[in-house]
Amino acid sequence: MALPYPDENTPPLRGVYYPTEKDRASANWTKFFAFAGVPDYPTFAAKAEAEPDWFWTKLIAFLDIRFDTPFTQVRDMSPGIEHARWCVGGRMNMTVSLLDRHIAAGRGAHEAILWESEDGRTRRLTYAGLLQQTEELAAGLAAKGIGAGDVIGLFMPMIPETAVAFLAIARLGAIVLPLFSGFGENALATRLNDSGAVAVITAEETVRRGKISPMKATLDIALAQAPSVRHVVVAPTRKAVAMTAGRDMWWDAAIAPGASFPAVIVDADHPMMVIYTSGTTGKPKGAIHTHCGFTVKTGEDYILCYDFKPSERWAWMTDIGWLVGPIQIVATLLTGATLLLAEGGPDYPQPGRLWRMIEDYKLTMVGVSPTTVRVMRTHGDGEATRYDTSSLRAILSTGEPWDEATWIWLYENVLRQRGPIMNNIGGTEMGAILGTNVLYPHRPTSFFGPVPGTGADIVDDAGNSTAPGEVGELVMREACIGTTRGLWQDEERYIDGYWTRFPGIWTHGDWASRDKDGLWYVHGRSDDTIKLAGKRTGPSEIEALLLATGKVKDAAAVAIDDPIKGSAVVCAVVAAPDAPGEVELTPLLSSAITKGLGGPYKPRSILYVSDLPRTRNGKVMRRVIRSVLTGKPAGDVSSLINPEAVDELQAFVGKV
């Protein structure tokens, strides 16, 4: 089933992009079908499900991923689905496919990296320049005794040196440890110690919204608790900092100018990166991504599902410490496209900075989170429509559920209805599980369905597939090449966290549902579930009703224990500038929820705050809100960009 096209009986739906025959003919999916020898998507999907080894082998060949030694078996399931082995017998290095391949094809002069600082400074790197700088840094690190298997922290702002450092570490066969640029010393020390990092590449400082944040000085404090770190490389950004003799070196001293450094060839499934995701309790979890796994899965997600082409010029304002940071580097370079790195925030110093960059750099795609768009929307329609966004052919999204009003606003005011909003959802542990398909239209906030090779399904508490309209747990029934190879030094937690609830099935931790047309929806984290009157509801449904009033800028709904009903709804909201006072606004918001979901969902309390606790990607941390309000430990909160929001919530403890 699929969303029907408009005709005399079916009017077009607002917020829906309907691909034309020309769109479908030029899509990468269509090129892949011709390459794989299948006529259309339904035929392909059935064959890929029945013959996963055929699919992965064809995909690797289509993406032109280079192996120094070809693999003899694309997938080995003998260790069990939890520990599937990939590209067995193959040897490679990811950077050969990302850099050397394009140089050999004569594309060395093509722009690889653009950069804009918050204060307007710019830089550019071609593919040839990026490869040269990568080799110089890799050679310099190798001269310090750093090599294959060593973990190297990457504590950097979004500057060109960050991409160079990421690639240089991978080229060495070493393991990248991305670290959020806003981490404090304790969060840094925890991850450096858990990973056993031997070196860190950092910068003097970074800036966001005009505020300077020290990085090298913060790292120095953390290193007093991280004895495994022997070397620190510092990229100069704004002003001199203290350097420790024998350990610290400036970037210029760390590189080997003019050096050639061929990629170190490693087993295809050799770890390339360990990236930590916050746990609800205890220490953060280190997901392990490999050379073949991360490259192939990123290619599937971006080149097929997001329809990336070598002509793309794009940006996704994020941080190297979140999965989107490494992904955007790999996706761009695997495709042969151009990436704009932008330091700072999307609405500073201009309220429409992100939209302005589309005009200035002729961007063809931008990536956003729903929360980012909600914030940008508060600056008004005029701030979006004042810029020329005609170069934009699509907008990408991931990370959290949408509300329909924000989706439609973005589609009409930024995309100007010229292309699709392409939605996917996944996680730090494995990339995308659900995605958009550019061959088909889809409703606002929805997904076309499972990303091929994941075996995505929605199940009830007994592990049975749910019927259309029923909310259930999002799972994967198949081994996927992009899934983490475990949790760093924590096998028990890996099995217990993902594989024990439904044995042999990956439990992702999101609620999802399907509609009658086969489109999929995500309703938030399953540990954020709100269950009232026998109905299980994702918080995004409640939040969408609040946002649709136009009286709040952002909202988060959480469930807390209730002695009579079992659970009660509490909403934390950021009021819009033109909203009435709390006395008038509270019944209006409460009424919007009960009209949409029924009387049992009437919130016990509506709390008014200046901001919600969120990550650098804009994702609202509902579990933190719930934990604070109920007086329970909030777990790992080191990834929050605005810890002051937690302090503000503390004032409501005991009052909800």
CATH numbers and ranges of domains, the chain = 22-88 (no CATH), 532-650 (3.30.300.30)
The answer on pLDDT for 639 being more than 80 is no
Residue in the structure block whose two tokens are 């494995």: 430
End-to-end CA distance of the chain, in Å?
45
Beta bridge partners of 495: none
pLDDT of residue 617: 62
- The secondary element (H helix, E strand) that includes residue 347 is none
On the question of pLDDT at 280 being above 70, the answer is no
SS3 312: coil
Question: Which pLDDT score is estimated for 559?
Answer: 85
Strands 338-342 and 313-316: parallel
Predicted TM-score (pTM) of the model is 0.87
Judged against a pLDDT cut of 60, whether residue 534 lies above it is answered with no
Rounded mean pLDDT, 145-158 = 97
Question: Which element (helix H / strand E) includes 7?
Answer: none
Residues pairing with 205 in the sheet: 214
Mean per-residue pLDDT, 10-15? 92
300 DSSP 8-state letter? I
Do residues 98 and 110 make contact, with C-beta atoms less than 8 angstroms apart? no
Distance between CA 254 and CA 5 in Å, rounded? Answer: 58
Contacting residues for 429 by C-beta, under 8 A, at least 6 apart: 277, 287, 483, 484, 498
Lowest-pLDDT choice from 8-12, 159-163, 461-465 = 8-12
Dump pLDDT digits (tens) for 117-133: 999 999 999 999 999 99
Beta bridge mates, 367: 316, 396
- Let me know the angle formed at the C-alpha of 402 by 397 and 408, rounded to the nearest 5 degrees: 90
E strand residue ranges, 518-585 = 520-525, 530-532, 535-537, 552-562, 566-575
Distance CA 66, CA 261 (A): 17
Average pLDDT over residues 597-603: 81
Confidence of residue 401 (pLDDT cuts 50, 70, 90): confident
The span from the CA of 334 to the CA of 167, in Å, is 12
pLDDT band of 532, cuts 50, 70, 90:
low
- Residues in Cβ contact with 331 at an 8 Å cutoff, skipping those fewer than 6 apart: 298, 299, 301, 302, 303, 306, 308, 337
Provide the pairing of β-strand 151-155 with 199-203.
parallel
**Residue 166 or residue 624, greater confidence:** 166
pLDDT digits (tens, 9 = 90+) for 282-330: 578 999 999 999 999 999 999 999 999 999 999 999 999 989 999 999 9
Q: Residue 241: pLDDT band by 50, 70, 90 thresholds?
A: confident
CA distance 85 to 71: 11
CA dist 240 and 445 (Å) reads: 47
Contact present, 530 and 557 (Cβ < 8 Å): yes
Averaged pLDDT, 39-50: 97
The whole-number pLDDT of residue 636 equals 67
Distances from the Cα of 60 to the Cα of 373, 522, 548, 639, angstroms: 34, 29, 43, 34
